[in-house]
Amino acid sequence: MRENSRLKKENIRLMKKTGEYKEMKNDAKEILKDTPEIKTIKLMREKYDLSLINAKEIVDSAKEQ
């Protein structure tokens, strides 16, 4: 379980480092304008092949902006 958590954190760190995270966050922000949060999470998961936790984190960070 701890290993899984560590890998998820490392995945987010790498996405932020490569700029992919920012791109996904901007995409989520655009989708949120016309779509409810839950549907946005689902769309982000499908589009970027994310886990539920990663997609939710990105959508939540897009809402904060």
Q: How many domains does the chain have?
A: 1
Single pTM value for the model: 0.76
Predicted local confidence at residue 1, as pLDDT:
61
Residues 6+ apart with CB under 8 A from 11: 54
Provide the residue range defining the domain that includes 29: 2-64
What parts of the chain have a pLDDT lower than 70? 1, 65
Distance CA 4, CA 26 (A): 26
